[in-house]
A and B are shown apart, each in its own frame.
Chain A
Amino acid sequence: MRTSFSFATVCVFGAAMALLPACGSTDDSSGGTAGAPGTAGAPGTAGAPGTAGTTGTAGAPGTAGTTGTAGTTGTAGTTGATGDATRGATLWSGSTTGCNTCHGASGEGVTSLGPNVTKSATAGIGSWTYQQFHDAIRTGAGKNGQLCQLMQKFPESSISEQGMQDLWAFLQSKPAVDTTVTDACP
């Protein structure tokens, strides 16, 4: 009995370990759940944050248009983290966060107030990683350095880690808008 139990334990564990690469491979090839292929990012930057598409399938610059039909979940680039776009929409226009006030209803930006934050690689934050997006909201420092002073910093007590992913998923679910909008800071 002792031997059989030890053997069974090792077998279960070994089988699970053997399954692991297969699981990872499956997920790797299937990509994420949000973002239609080719809707965002420059060539070679496929699998850009949030689009979680299959590597190498993103469209060429300029094709990032208004055809994004991502579902209600988004993934944070290659990391697999999921957010809920519906919850993100609530957070986006919530009274505490009020992102829509400066960035528009869908992240398209508001002239002389807040920039375009759609997934456009040319005018928005399509080339940003999830971490850059996260840090911009938490610390006020974006991919290209310090953001405009009007951009409020949101600690975790205001937006949880899940809330961050929900916001990200919300923005990924919205179409890319290629119009550059100047913010309040010259």
Chain B
Amino acid sequence: MTSDLTARTAARARLVGALLVFLSGITFSTKAILVKLAYRQGIDSVSLLTLRFGFAAPFFAYAAFGAQLRGKIPPALTRRDGFTILALGVLGYYLASLSDFIGLRYISAGLERLILFVYPTLVVLIEAGVYKARLERRQQLALLVTYAGIVLAFRDELGQSLGSDVPRGAAWVFGSALTYAVYLIGAGRMVPKLGSQRFTALALLAATAAVLLHACLSGARILGLPPVAYLIGLVMALFATVLPAFLLARGIALIGSGPAAIISSVGPVSTILLAYLILDEAFTPSAFLGTALVIIGATLVASSPKRAKPAPAG
């Protein structure tokens, strides 16, 4: 009787975990759509980024310091830890988001999400390069499949466009995936020390400060924007930044990072579908095939042992 109950509880936890990761993928997938809607209003990348991080900052601050407010004293941080968090936050959230937002000015939301999704393969490649580790056959195959998918989707979009904008946008978004991959490698060393939630929240706060500083130095317009700009920024902060992060963290805790990686592959599909429905973006057979290949390849890599957790990038 007791074992039945335990099994049922475990099954329910797995189901809830899977659902949370699925919802995380869906909510995060709306980010590119919201960015595109903002661009249609003529809102610039830096202003939009500032609104996103500015609205989300109180939640990050609560996640970072909430425990202290409740009287729980977290483990002490050294000065070195502080600098590492600052550097990783700037790299993994500020630079990654900025280059992603810039890239979205040049390419479709669907292609952007597809390129972002290659970050697990970049983690593998960087680690292989840094630690001189040999790639397993499964990893080699996964990389081949992933990049074949990108080329297929990329050629498709390139063929329809003026040409010059697509490589430029793709390069920006690839830069976003690359910086996020580097962040994940660094995060792998910090998370065991600080815990996932505290580290992520502190890194996001560091990124927020960097975004605000950028906005100030570049003279980005924050006040006096049309009301719709603040609405989009708020929705993006709550539903495409804070909510997916919390859902994913809870989901991974319930089902583990491997299954979460597989379920997260709903993200690109969701973005492409939403872009088709809301933004009227084209969805061709080769884009469909390319998307399938990227999802299969990236999922194979991400779900293999000792791989990075599938946290949302950009």
Contact = CB atoms under 8 A, between A and B. Distances in A.
B221 A80 contact: yes
B40 A22 contact: no
Q: Ordered nearest first, which 3 A-B pairs have the shortest CB separation?
A: A76-B42, A24-B223, A80-B221
A160 B76 contact: no
Interface residues of A, number: 51
A81 B104 CA distance: 14
A174 interface: no
Nearest to B275: A156
B221 A79 contact: yes
Nearest to B106: A160
Given A2-B76, A162-B105, 16 more contacts: A5-B79, A5-B82, A13-B57, A13-B61, A13-B205, A13-B208, A17-B57, A22-B216, A27-B221, A27-B223, A28-B221, A30-B219, A78-B224, A160-B106, A160-B107, A163-B162
Contact of B41 (A16, A27, A96, A130): A130
11 contacts: A5-B77, A16-B209, A23-B215, A23-B222, A28-B221, A76-B43, A79-B43, A79-B47, A91-B162, A158-B161, A161-B106
A149 interface: no
A13 B62 CA distance: 13
A185 interface: no
Contacts of B105: 160-162, 165
Interface in B22-69: 36, 39-44, 47, 50, 54, 57, 61, 64-65, 68
A93 B225 CA distance: 32
Contacts of A131: 40-42
A27 B54 CA distance: 18
Contacts of A8: 82
Nearest to A80: B221
Contacts of A134: 40, 42
Interface in A108-164: 129-131, 134-135, 138, 155-163
